[in-house]
Structure 1
Amino acid sequence: MKWESLYSQAKQWVNEAGERIRQSFNQRLSIQTKSNANDLVTNIDKETEQFFIKKIKEAYPHHKIMGEEGFGDKLDSLKGIVWMIDPIDGTMNFIHQQRNFAISIGVYEDGVGKIGLVYDVVHDELYHAFSGKGAYLNETPIANLSETAVNKSIIALNATWVMKNHRIDHNLLIPLVRDARGTRSYGSAALEMVFVATGRVDAYISMRLSPWDYAAGAVIIEELGGVVTNLRGEKLDYLTQDSLFVAKPGLHQTILQEYLKDGKW
């Protein structure tokens, strides 16, 4: 497997897909709901996923694909090479704001992350990493993550997830919110993860996400020395939904032990 060639090709496809999305901004969207009234999907989400599937199947017919919109393969294992695709992460932002969304693609081999690509379409910012070769914002290397304290940290946390999930005692997170320097919420897991990677925020917490939401960001963050787990401190299995907790080194352990240990996540 020529990973360098795949890496280059994947970046090219992401840029092409981003241009297609930008050209759609003046079009009338076809908007549908999925699991609930706020779980939205557009014709552009579907068309973008199909664009990637066509490219991948033509170039790499034996690779498997996990896609948010359901056009990929039905997987019960991560054996072999698997592409995990979220064609538009942050669809609600895409519909309402035409910003704060991203294309997210992770490429894994036997469950191990090899390539991560997160493309902020509006700002033309491609965050990408090839395992063992560093992480980049466009062509500029991203510095490795350094440790920081909770009281100097900005935590990305969507309070809506906490309040709507009645199994979660949101009071457990109040001390963390109180002790942190600040909190933010951007509405796109992929962007919030690369904001951790670049130090714009120091940690990101979400109650329930799917593998295509975090597969790309995980490769980028781990390449820079950050830590990616669920809220129980366990490794993600990339086949099921789970909570997500990503943070700078040191900070991850501190928050896990001092703020999250008593939660039934």
Structure 2
Amino acid sequence: MDWEYIDLQAKQWVKEAGDKIRESFSKTLNIQTKSNPNDLVTNIDKEIEQFFINKIRKTFENHRILGEEGFGDEVNNLDGVVWIIDPIDGTMNFIHQQRNFAISLGVYENGIGKIGLIYDVAHGELYHAINGKGAFMNDSPLPKLNKVAVKESIIALNATWVMENHRIDHNLLIPLVREARGTRSYGTAALEMVFVATGRVDAYISMRLSPWDVAAGAVIIEELGGIVTNLRGKKLDFLSKDSLLVAKPGLHQSIINEYLNEGKW
């Protein structure tokens, strides 16, 4: 498999898609709700996913596609090559802010992440990795991640998870928040994973994400020595929704052992 060629094509398409999104900033969006009033999708999300699908099917006809908006294939296994796409991760931010969102594109072969691309469209920053070849922001290599203690860490975490909720006992995470140096929330899993990759934050926790939210970021994080699991410390299967803990080495195990090992979710 010529992963360099696949990566080259994917980067070109991601940048073209970014241009299309930027052009939409001055246009009126058609906004619809999905599972609830805060789960939004726009005509741009749908158009960008269809753009990727058309490009992939014309160029790599044997590859399958798992996309957030449902225009791809019915994917119930990761046999062969599967593209996992979120055309706009952080749609609410896209609508309200026109920043803090990203295109997220992961390419997997037989369940192994081979290519990860996350494009911060508003800032023109493309984070990318090919398995075994390092990770980059545009043309600049990203350094390997170093260990950090909880008390020195900044953790990306939605405030929902330290309030009473139906997914996790919120009391589990209060000691972690209290012990950490600080917390942040950006509203886009792809960029929050990128921020771990670049050291802007040290860990990211979420209770329920889909494969297209995390597939690209996992390739980038693991290429830098970071750890990607669910909150039980188990590997993700990239076919179903799951919790997520992304962290620097050492910190990941500390969070699992000291704060989450008695968790109920």
Q: Structure 1: how far apart are the matches of 2:16 and 2:91?
A: 19
Percent identity between matched residues is 75
Q: Structure 2: how far apart are the matches of 1:212 and 1:261?
A: 27
Moved more, 157-166 or 43-52: 157-166
Specify the SS of the correspondent of 1:160.
helix
Instruction: Return closer, same or farther for 1:161/1:210 CA change in 2, 3 Å cut-off.
Output: farther
Q: 1:161 Cα shift?
A: 5.0
Cα deviation digits, residues 6-29 of structure 1 (max 9, x gap): 001100100000010000000000
TM-score (norm 1): 0.99
Q: Structure 2: how far apart are the matches of 1:50 and 1:159?
A: 34
Give 1:133's aligned residue.
Answer: 133
Q: 1:2 Cα shift?
A: 1.1
Specify the SS of the correspondent of 2:20.
helix
Q: Structure 2: how far apart are the matches of 1:167 and 1:208?
A: 8
Give 1:244's aligned residue.
Answer: 244
Specify the SS of the correspondent of 2:5.
helix
Alpha-carbon contact 1:162-1:168 (below 8 Å) kept: no
Q: 1:163 Cα shift?
A: 4.0
Give 2:88's aligned residue.
Answer: 88
Cα deviation digits, residues 111-144 of structure 1 (max 9, x gap): 0000000000000000000000000000000000
TM-score (norm 2): 0.99
Moved more, 199-208 or 153-162: 153-162
- Alignment of structure 1 residues 96-245 onto 2, 5 Å: 96-160=96-160, 163=163, 165-245=165-245
Cα deviation digits, residues 43-83 of structure 1 (max 9, x gap): 00000000000000000011000000000101111000000
Q: Structure 2: how far apart are the matches of 1:167 and 1:62?
A: 38
Q: Structure 2: how far apart are the matches of 1:139 and 1:20?
A: 22
Q: Structure 1: how far apart are the matches of 2:193 and 2:147?
A: 16
Answer yes or no: is 1:72 the counterpart of 2:72. yes
Instruction: Return closer, same or farther for 1:75/1:165 CA change in 2, 3 Å cut-off.
Output: farther
Alpha-carbon contact 2:162-2:171 (below 8 Å) kept: no
Instruction: Return closer, same or farther for 1:117/1:246 CA change in 2, 3 Å cut-off.
Output: same
Q: Structure 2: how far apart are the matches of 1:250 and 1:206?
A: 19
Specify the SS of the correspondent of 2:257.
helix
Residues paired across the two proteins, number: 265
Runs of at least 5 residues in structure 1 that lack an aligned partner in the other structure: none
Runs of at least 5 residues in structure 2 that lack an aligned partner in the other structure: none
In structure 2, what residue type is equivalent to 1:235?
Answer: K
Cα deviation digits, residues 29-52 of structure 1 (max 9, x gap): 000000000000000000000000
Task: List 4+ stretches of structure 1 deviating above 6 A.
Answer: none
Instruction: Return closer, same or farther for 1:85/1:161 CA change in 2, 3 Å cut-off.
Output: farther
Give 1:261's aligned residue.
Answer: 261
Q: Structure 1: how far apart are the matches of 2:164 and 2:47?
A: 30
Q: Structure 2: how far apart are the matches of 1:72 and 1:13?
A: 16
Q: Structure 1: how far apart are the matches of 2:4 and 2:207?
A: 35
Alpha-carbon contact 2:203-2:247 (below 8 Å) kept: yes
Q: 1:159 Cα shift?
A: 1.7
Q: Structure 2: how far apart are the matches of 1:32 and 1:158?
A: 23
Instruction: Return closer, same or farther for 1:90/1:167 CA change in 2, 3 Å cut-off.
Output: closer
Cα deviation digits, residues 66-116 of structure 1 (max 9, x gap): 000000101111000000000000000000000000000000000000000
Instruction: Return closer, same or farther for 1:164/1:105 CA change in 2, 3 Å cut-off.
Output: farther
Alpha-carbon contact 2:161-2:173 (below 8 Å) kept: no
In structure 2, what residue type is equivalent to 1:60?
Answer: F
Alpha-carbon contact 1:203-1:248 (below 8 Å) kept: yes
